[in-house]
Amino acid sequence: MKPLTVFVPLEVQTSNKWVWKTWYSYDSEKRKWFKVLSLILPPKDKAPETLAYVEVTAYRKRLLDEDNLVGGCKPIFDYLVRAKYIKDDSPHWLKRTITQKKDSSPITKITIKYKEQEDERRQEA
C-alpha cells in the first residue's frame, strides 16, 4: 500500500480556541475539519489492523507553541479514526509526527503510512 498524502485547505488552529470555552467551540472546529476531510478522504469500510504513521505538517502564518499545535490537530486524528484510516489514536495503533512551517498560505499536509510499508522499504534496501 502506497503512502497517502493529502493537502487540506484549512489552517490548524491553536487549541486555546476551545480549551477554555464550551464544548461547542471544539465541536464546531471538529465539524469543520470533518466536512472538509470527508471530501478529500472518504470513509472506509474497515480500519487497517496495523500500526499507522501519520505526519501532519501545518503551514501557518504564525507559528504556535508545540502544545497548542498538537492540541489543534485533534480534529484530524478524530476524523482519521472515525473514517477508519487508522484503527485507533492510541500509541499502540498510531505513531504521529506533527510539525509546522511558516507560510503566507495556510494549508495542512497529512501523510499516512502503514507498518507494512516500512517493512517493505527495509527489505528493498
Q: pLDDT per residue over 86-99, tens digit each? A: 999 999 999 999 99
Going along the chain from its start, the domains and CATH numbers come out as 4-124 (3.30.1330.70)
Q: For residue range 16-43, what is the model confidence (pLDDT) as tens digits? A: 877 766 767 788 889 999 999 999 999 9
Q: For residue range 69-88, what is the model confidence (pLDDT) as tens digits? A: 999 999 999 999 999 999 99
* pLDDT for the residue numbered 2: 84
Instruction: In whole angstroms, give the CA distance from residue 44 to residue 67.
Output: 30
H/E/C letters for each residue in 49-101? Answer: CCCEEEEEEEEECCCCCHHHHHHHCHHHHHHHHHCCCCCCCCCCCEEEEEEEE
For residues 51-55, give the mean pLDDT.
Answer: 97
Q: What is the DSSP code (8-state) at residue 46? A: S
* pLDDT for the residue numbered 27: 87
